[in-house]
Amino acid sequence: MKNLPMDLLRTFTTINDLGGFTQAGELLGRSQPAISLQVKRLEELLDIQLFNRAGGLKLTEEGRMLYESARKILEMNDAVVSQLSAPSVSGTVRLGTPNDFEVSFLPVLLSKFSRAYPDVTLDVTSDVSINLRDGYKKGSYDMVMSMDEFPEHGFADDDYIVETLSWIADPGFNLNRSQPVPLVLYPQGCIYRKHITDALNEAGIPWRVLYCSSSLLGIQSAIKAGLGISALVLNTIPEIFQAEQTYNNLPELGKVTIGFNYDQNSLSPAATLLLDFLRRGLKQSQDYPASLKIPSATGNSYLSAR
The one-digit pLDDT tens for each residue of the chain (306 residues) are: 788 999 999 999 999 888 888 888 888 888 989 999 999 999 999 999 999 877 678 899 999 999 999 999 998 888 788 767 766 788 999 999 988 776 666 787 888 888 888 889 999 998 888 999 999 999 999 999 998 988 888 787 767 888 889 999 999 999 998 999 999 999 988 999 999 999 999 999 999 999 999 888 899 999 999 999 999 887 667 778 878 888 889 999 999 998 999 998 999 999 998 998 888 777 766 654 444 444 443 333 322 333
Q: 38-46: which pairs have CB atoms within 8 A and are 24 or more residues apart? A: 38/7, 38/8, 38/11, 38/12, 39/8, 39/11, 39/12, 39/15, 41/5, 41/8, 42/4, 42/5, 42/8, 42/9, 42/11, 42/12, 45/2, 45/4, 45/8, 46/2, 46/4
Give the closest residue to 166 by CA, choosing from 259, 257, 235. 235
Q: Which residues contact 208 (CB under 8 A, 6 or more apart)?
A: 180, 181, 182, 183
Three-state DSSP class for 113?
A: helix
Whole-number pLDDT of residue 298: 38
Whole-number pLDDT of residue 86: 62
What single DSSP character describes residue 284?
A: H
Question: Whole-angstrom Cα distance, residue 46 to residue 62?
Answer: 10
Whole-number pLDDT of residue 235: 61
Three-state DSSP class for 152?
A: coil
Three-state DSSP class for 153?
A: coil
Cβ–Cβ under 8 Å, residues 224 and 172: no
Whole-number pLDDT of residue 304: 31
Q: Where are the beta strands (DSSP E) in the chain?
A: 51-52, 58-59, 91-98, 120-127, 143-149, 160-169, 181-185, 207-212, 230-233, 242-244, 255-262, 294-296, 299-301
Whole-number pLDDT of residue 104: 65
Neighbours of 160 (CB within 10 A): 23
Cβ–Cβ under 8 Å, residues 25 and 32: yes
φ and ψ at residue 62, rounded to 5 degrees: -65, -35
Whole-number pLDDT of residue 54: 73
Whole-number pLDDT of residue 254: 93
Question: Cα-Cα-Cα-Cα dihedral of 206, 244, 103, 134, to 10°?
Answer: -50
In the chain the domains, ranked by start, together with CATH numbers, are: 6-85 (1.10.10.10), 91-160+257-301 (3.40.190.10), 164-255 (3.40.190.10)
Give the closest residue to 145 by CA, choosing from 189, 94, 185. 94
Question: Whole-angstrom Cα distance, residue 81 to residue 116?
Answer: 8
Whole-number pLDDT of residue 63: 92
